Amino acid sequence: MPIQTAFVGNNADLIAALTELYVADGDLVLDMTYGKGVFWRKTDLTRFKLVTNDLETPADYNCDFRHLPLIDATFDMVVLDPPYVHNPGNHVTDARYGNHTTEGMYHDDILELYVGGMTEAQRLLKPYGGRLVVKCKDEVESGVQRWSHIEIFEAAIGLGFFARDLFVLMPTSKTSDKRWDRQIHARKNHSFAWVFELPDPGYAKALVRAGWKGMDHDGGDQ
């Protein structure tokens, strides 16, 4: 069966399929926001080298993912999944992941975290064919829809990436939420995983002909 874009399951199911398709044997992969490693529980880690980073949990590095002591143009893939629940307080994800909380942050603050991590990933990825996986979820802030996956797409294009693929994940677990007396938006029960890529010059020309507005690998306008 071919690997498909929509999954019912958990992050580990998604990452196992995504890496089967997009990580070659012997690749060097960086998880910038490793947490407790839940992404990798169903992935065959013997095929490639996984380097991990997290502020609070045991990992190869314990650094701010926006400023890593690693060499430019080293990795074949970088994975980014920062906390994306704005001002969560006592949110269920605090126990599930070891990442530092986003308490006191709002949507635009969290988007800045993403852009900072994506910028660092661009530095660390191999310039031709390096891939960035970004996990995200749309949200509602103060009654306004915030389409995180679109904002992240636009930021990636501005950094010189193109969108190689987009996965949609719907979890099997269900949560009840009684914070509101009246529902005014459909409850978001799915998340996204973007696969962005830094194109080689030949493919970049094809992308430009198709309307891509990215940057070239040296940071100049296409």
pLDDT digits (tens, 9 = 90+) for 133-170: 999 999 888 788 999 999 999 999 999 999 999 999 99
Residue 110 lies in a domain: yes
Which residue range forms the structural domain that includes residue 15? 6-173+186-209
Confidence of residue 180 (pLDDT cuts 50, 70, 90): low
Q: Which residues pair with 77 in a beta bridge?
A: 29, 131
Residue 137 lies in a domain: yes
Q: Is the dihedral of CA 39, 15, 216, 138 positive or negative?
A: negative
Return mean pLDDT, the chain.
87
pLDDT digits (tens, 9 = 90+) for 67-111: 999 999 999 999 999 876 655 445 444 444 444 456 668 889 999
Q: Which of 162, 171, 158 is nearest to 131 (CA)?
A: 162
Work out the percent of the chain whose per-residue pLDDT is above 70. 84
**What's this model's pTM, rounded to 2 decimal places?**
0.87
Work out the widest C-alpha separation in the chain, in whole angstroms. 55
The whole-number pLDDT of residue 96 equals 47
| Cβ atoms of residues 212 and 160 within 8 Å | no
Residue 113 lies in a domain: yes
Residue type at position 35: G
- Pairing status of strand 139-141 against strand 144-146: antiparallel
| Cβ atoms of residues 65 and 53 within 8 Å | yes
Residue 180 lies in a domain: no
Residue 221 lies in a domain: no
Confidence of residue 187 (pLDDT cuts 50, 70, 90): confident
Q: How many domains does the chain have?
A: 1
The whole-number pLDDT of residue 99 equals 41
Give the pLDDT mean for 3-30.
96
On the question of pLDDT at 220 being above 90, the answer is: no
Structure tokens at 157: 């294009």
Confidence of residue 176 (pLDDT cuts 50, 70, 90): low
**The domain that contains 31 carries what CATH number?**
3.40.50.150
Distance CA 43, CA 14 (A): 9
CA angle 200, 149, 146 (to 5 degrees): 150
Distance CA 78, CA 85 (A): 21
The whole-number pLDDT of residue 94 equals 46
Residue 109 lies in a domain: yes
Residue 71 lies in a domain: yes
Give the pLDDT mean for 128-137.
96
Distance CA 148, CA 117 (A): 15
Q: Which of 189, 197, 187 is nearest to 169 (CA)?
A: 189
The whole-number pLDDT of residue 135 equals 96
Highest mean pLDDT out of 90-104, 113-127, 182-196: 113-127
On the question of pLDDT at 132 being above 50, the answer is: yes
Distance CA 115, CA 111 (A): 6
Residue 220 lies in a domain: no
